A and B are shown apart, each in its own frame.
Chain A
Amino acid sequence: AAPVQVQLVVPMAVVFGPGSVPGDLLRPLPFRDVQEMEISVNLRTSVTSRYEMFYRSTTGQEEAALAAATAREADAALHPLQDTTLGSLTMYVVPETSSLLPQGINVYVGKHRSALVRAGGSLAALQARLREVTQVMSFTASSIAAALSDRVPDGQLSPDARRNLKSSLGYEITFSLLNPDPKSHTVDWDIEGAVNRYVKPVLDKLSLVANFSVDSQILYYAVLGVTPRYDKESSSFLLSAHSLPHVINPVEARLGSSAASLYPVLNFLLYVPERSHSPLYIQDKDGAPVSTNAFHSPRWGGIMVYNVEAPASPQASLPLHVDVDMARVMEVFLAQLRLLFGLSREEVPPEFLLERPGNEGLADWELDHLLWAHTVENIATVSTTLTSLAQLLDKIGNIVIKDDVASEVYRAVASVQSAVTELSLGHLHAAFQASKEAVTSSERAFFDPSLLHLLYFPDDQKFAIYIPLFLPMAVPILLSLAKIVRETRQRKKEPTKMD
């Protein structure tokens, strides 16, 4: 793989509220400081992270905002006063005894790009806490390693490092309703309304990352490939965790995974169990029913089981009309969408309080998190692609590079260089856009149909074709040439003889 050296610069501001300045501060505020860390992936790939910190004290407006009653209000008030460029972070330090943060909570991470950090007494403790927060809000060594997963030697990767969706220019999201028993259930789902109300805000926020297209379908008589077990104690049917992997394939054949688009497809399935198998619960490994009644498969999508309540009277006429509670369903599907992209909130230390992003689906710093990972992944992909293209050209000497392929290669190189420069300046947005362009150009150049090595003949094949054609023709010509040479030589000798 080609050597990649990237410097990720995160511009940060650390703002000390009144009464929070640690006693052992070496220099008077305001001052700038830089912290660098190296994330080395393999011998030829190294990513250095550089946090450019600007320490200052609060302005009057910020002080007023920090005097709010709760952390959430403070965060909302501080939002207009912050630097909101992509990739930047602002940390507000509040005194150790401040009541802004609840008991036991040392860090409050807001919806945007700021956090409230409780001072830790000494500068060192504060800096340690700040480092933790910045890693959660921007990138960690493992998230970068996951983005560069095809360069990491296999033994070092954690087993779930390669489960996030690969960076792509677009994704297609398909919502499917599976109704295996239309005789018993007539299921109505207002998918259009749900998409407009709940899914669109999330996709609008993610539109920076990629293009999304959404479609939906209803499939009748689509059964799960697995028969659930009847559990007498709970008088319900159970699907155990180890039978879940076999559920997806029989269904996938009927999903018609997008004949139209070349983008990766994310399938979200809502399964309404048959009347004879209701209610159906999914069991986790310990045997407890899962609260969401849903599971997902990395890089594929998710399935949720929606149980229909049994009718009050056993004589109720079939089919039962079911109105799906789209909000509950979308809560699960959007959570699965987040997990597919790798945005999990589970690995956060317990003393952190993360603000819920609400209907937008993800916080600004989570978007940054995605952008950092995707930018690094794109840059690595481009360098590998261009290097292997160069190796292909070395191997097949007589390949013809068309002009448009050449221009795509130049464009890819220029874009990736600008992406690396922008990253080293801390401009995440520009870097991401440049990396996207670089990936598009390099893929177009590498996968150009004219580069098939079958079309370029090595020299020995050329000989093999032309020799049988020209050799018989050449024999009389060569013999005549020989005769001519002999005659000329003879004629030259003759005048000397004839004398």
Chain B
Amino acid sequence: VCTSRFWFNYRHVANTLSVYRSVKRLGIPDSHIVLMLADDMACNPRNPKPATVFSHKNMELNVYGDDVEVDYRSYEVTVENFLRVLTGRIPPSTPRSKRLLSDDRSNILIYMTGHGGNGFLKFQDSEEITNVELADAFEQMWQKRRYNELLFIIDTCQGASMYERFYSPNIMALASSQVGEDSLSHQPDLGIGVHLMDRYTFYVLEFLEEIHPASQTNMNDLFQVCPKSLCVSTPGHRTDLFQRDPQNVLITDFFGSVRKVEITTETVSLDRGVAGFESKFPEEELATEPLKYAEQLPVAQIIHQKPKQKDWHPPGGFILGLWALIIMVFFKTYGIKHMKHVF
């Protein structure tokens, strides 16, 4: 999830897209990734290289590419949508690619980046998500067993405050900076004119470049990424809610996807002479007249519809009391004799 928009937040989009690329490289297909971006970088009029988003100042790697599948873009990246995706309380008309269809054997990786503060994360410059809400959302997920294990990575200022309130089991969290510290960006690119990546994500990506689908690197190595000398901020992590020892947790458990397979040793013996199953119930053809377009919409009904009577509710106690107070004060202060001037 990239929670910022506007040109000067280029680095957040580059962060998210780089993590997206690594995760895809390690085997997770698009159908298993929910990507939320403001997506206003590549085609921004201020982008000197349109249709590209670079993550390194020598413009080596175009992380935008041509097979990015953004599920929630622009104004759809809101706290409400984010929480709906996590908890599954989605309107039934939402397409499958916008849903998180996880079950009790899914390991989920959540990566968030943007601007944050002590206990909140800013979404698109207009709203915030607090750490309490995030913890509650994770608890709702746990209640419905929507995850087996969850890895939460956040790259914002004061990121560690976001994972302080988690209380559901099987969650491991990593943040780029402690409470009171700012996460800094990596390097600006003079051609594009903005900072291209954040330091923490840059070093995490360097680390991930060495991981391949069969690698055995474990989480303890990920915790060592970006020490204070390189990152200026102190990355933090939280593993007390996690049941397994981080030593035994492989990076590919979250970043890649290695399936459990079993060799099939049984077969079913089929009788080959069986005739095909013709559908037992021939569908009855009901003769219907072809519908004309104009008749499909009951225009006549709609035009002549009377406006629905909205139920009238008397004003509530608070409003009535307030108005009574105001009127009483007014008349007491100015005297009743002025009433005739009012009416």
Interface residues of A (CB under 8 A from B): 149-150, 154, 162-163, 166, 193, 196-198, 200-201, 225, 241, 244-246, 248-250, 252-253, 257-262, 282, 284, 290-292, 294-300, 302, 304, 327, 330-332, 334-336, 338-339, 344-346, 356-359, 361, 384-385, 388, 391-392, 395, 446-455, 477, 480-481, 483-484
Contacts and interface: CB of A to CB of B under 8 A. Distances in A.
Given A331-B268, A331-B269, 10 more contacts: A193-B276, A196-B277, A197-B275, A249-B259, A253-B31, A260-B96, A298-B260, A345-B266, A346-B266, A454-B83
Contacts of B99: 262
B325 interface: yes
14 contacts: A166-B104, A193-B276, A200-B277, A245-B260, A245-B261, A246-B27, A249-B259, A290-B263, A290-B264, A294-B263, A339-B264, A339-B266, A447-B87, A481-B329
Contact of B267 (A282, A300, A331): A331
B265 interface: yes
A299 B87 CA distance: 22
A241 B262 CA distance: 9
B140 A392 contact: yes
A259 B95 contact: yes
A228 B79 CA distance: 47
Interface of B: 27-31, 79-80, 83-84, 87-91, 95-97, 99, 101, 103-105, 133, 136, 140, 143-145, 213-214, 243, 257-272, 274-278, 325-326, 329, 332-333
A242 B332 CA distance: 89
Contacts of A388: 140, 143-144
Contacts of B214: 246
Nearest to A344: B266
Given A335-B267, A338-B266, A246 B144 contact: no
Q: Which of B99, B103, B266, B325 has the most chain A CB atoms inside 10 A of its CB?
A: B266
Contact of A295 (B29, B145, B263): B263
Given A250-B27, A338-B268, A453-B133, A359 B89 contact: no
Nearest to A202: B268
A211 B329 CA distance: 70
Contact of A245 (B259, B265, B270): B259
Contacts of A392: 140
Contact of A252 (B29, B88, B243, B277): B29
Contact of A447 (B89, B265, B269): B89
Contact of B97 (A163, A245, A259, A454): A259
A241 B260 CA distance: 11
Contacts of A330: 268, 270
Contacts of B265: 290-292, 346
Contact of B27 (A162, A249, A338, A358): A249
Contacts of A225: 27
A253 B30 contact: yes
Contacts of A484: 329, 332-333
Contacts of A446: 144
A477 to B, nearest CB: 5
Contact of A166 (B103, B269, B277, B329): B103
A246 B26 CA distance: 10
A249 B28 contact: yes
Nearest to B91: A449
Contacts of B258: 245-246
A198 B136 CA distance: 48
B104 A150 contact: yes
A336 B264 contact: yes
B267 A248 contact: no
A294 B90 CA distance: 38
Contacts of A477: 325-326, 329
Contacts of B143: 384, 388, 391
B331 to A, nearest CB: 10
A221 to B, nearest CB: 16
A154 B259 contact: no
Contacts of B325: 477, 481
Contact of A150 (B89, B145, B271): B145
Most chain B CB atoms below 10 A, which of A304, A395, A446, A451: A446
Most buried by A among B101, B272, B326: B272
Nearest to A248: B259
Nearest to B28: A249
B329 A359 contact: no
A197 B274 contact: yes
Nearest to B105: A162
A257 B263 contact: no
A162 B28 CA distance: 21
A258 B143 CA distance: 27
Contacts of B266: 292, 335, 338-339, 344-346
B140 A385 contact: no
Contacts of B243: 154
A416 B215 CA distance: 46
Contacts of A246: 27, 213-214, 258
B88 A447 contact: yes
B270 A327 contact: yes
A453 B145 CA distance: 18
Contacts of B259: 245, 248-249, 297, 300
Nearest to A396: B136
A192 B261 CA distance: 28
Given A196-B276, A330-B270, A449-B84, A249 B29 contact: yes
Given A154-B243, A335-B268, A296 B277 contact: no
B329 A297 contact: no
B332 A449 contact: no
A261 B31 CA distance: 13
B263 A282 contact: yes
Nearest to A480: B329
A163 B103 CA distance: 12
A166 B95 CA distance: 22
A379 B88 CA distance: 21
A121 to B, nearest CB: 34
B271 A332 contact: no
Nearest to A260: B96
Contacts of B267: 292, 331-332, 335
